[in-house]
Amino acid sequence: MILKYRCMKCGICCYEVEKNELGYRKRIPLYPEEVDELIELAKKYEIEFKVIEDLVFPDIINKNILVLTFKIFLDNPKACCPFYDQEEGCTIHEKKPLACKAYPLALKRIDSFNMELSIDPLCNFVSKNYNELKNISLNKIKEIFEIEYPNVERFYRKNKNLILKIRQLEFEKKIKIAREISLDDFNKALKEWDRIEIRVK
Ligand code: SF4
Ligand code: SF4
């Protein structure tokens, strides 16, 4: 029988996962425009919703922190996404972030500027079918994750476009990213510099 991805609606992916021995920490990345949309939805549903900055670059020409992505801050007792409901599951299914639409396909960050496609082993479906999914070809991934694959492609393109935009701004000498900055200086910049959100389509 051909394996096809079917979400088991266990909700594991909507919870924070503690750091394991590989240093993995689960997070739900959001683009600035997704944050705007989720803030509106949270107001509508009277849900407490907080985000923190995720991928940021310090621009040493203008002394700004460039914010490319945020992540949902899971500071509730259950450490789960505020849009998750025990009975219903995701309550914003149509409007959930691109990262959730692509899941369990994900982008593993190699460094600040590069990433690669991965399948999240923490997903219940993935762990149950691990033997079939390990070392799988790209064509098989497309077959098994028919709906999620186009979303992870959009997710990848969007991340690439963000990085290209940063590189373009650097090329035009409008910004300069501090690539070698001490942790102390970086933390000082995080405290003192203004934020500029970087948005792409
Ligand atoms: S938006 Fe929905 S799918 Fe995404 S983490 Fe929240 S509850 Fe889960
Ligand atoms: S962990 Fe996997 S199977 Fe469970 S709800 Fe999330 S996507 Fe579905």
Q: Which atom of ligand 2 is nearest to the CA of 104?
A: 7
Listed by start position, the domains of the chain span 12-197
* 172 pLDDT tier (thresholds 50, 70, 90): very high
User: What distance lies between CA 176 and its chain's CA centroid?
Assistant: 24
Q: How far is the CA of 13 from the centre of ligand 2 (A)?
A: 6
Residue with structure tokens 């098994």?
Answer: 144
pLDDT digits (tens, 9 = 90+) for 64-123: 999 999 998 887 777 889 999 988 899 998 899 999 999 999 988 787 677 889 999 889
Dihedral over Cα of 188, 22, 77, 124: its sign = positive
Say whether pLDDT at 24 is over 90. no
Q: Which atom of ligand 1 is nearest to the CA of 83?
A: 7
**153-191 in b/e burial notation, b at 16+ Cβ within 10 A?**
eebbebbeebbeebeebeeeeebebeeeeeeeeeeebee
Say whether pLDDT at 25 is over 90. no
Residues in contact with 67: Cβ distance below 8 Å, sequence separation at least 6, in sequence order: 32, 53, 55, 56, 195, 196, 197, 198
In the chain, the percentage of residues whose pLDDT exceeds 90 is 70
Does residue 83 line the site of ligand 1, with CB under 6 A?
yes
> Residue 6, SS3?
coil
Cis geometry, peptide bond prior to residue 104 (ω within 30 degrees of 0): yes
> H-helix or E-strand containing 110?
strand 105-111
Does residue 47 line the site of ligand 2, with CB under 6 A?
no
pLDDT digits (tens, 9 = 90+) for 34-61: 999 999 999 999 999 999 999 999 999 9
Q: How many CB atoms lie within 10 A of CB 138?
A: 9
- For atom 4 of ligand 1, the residue with the nearest CA is 100
- For atom 8 of ligand 2, the residue with the nearest CA is 7
- Residue-averaged pLDDT of the chain: 90
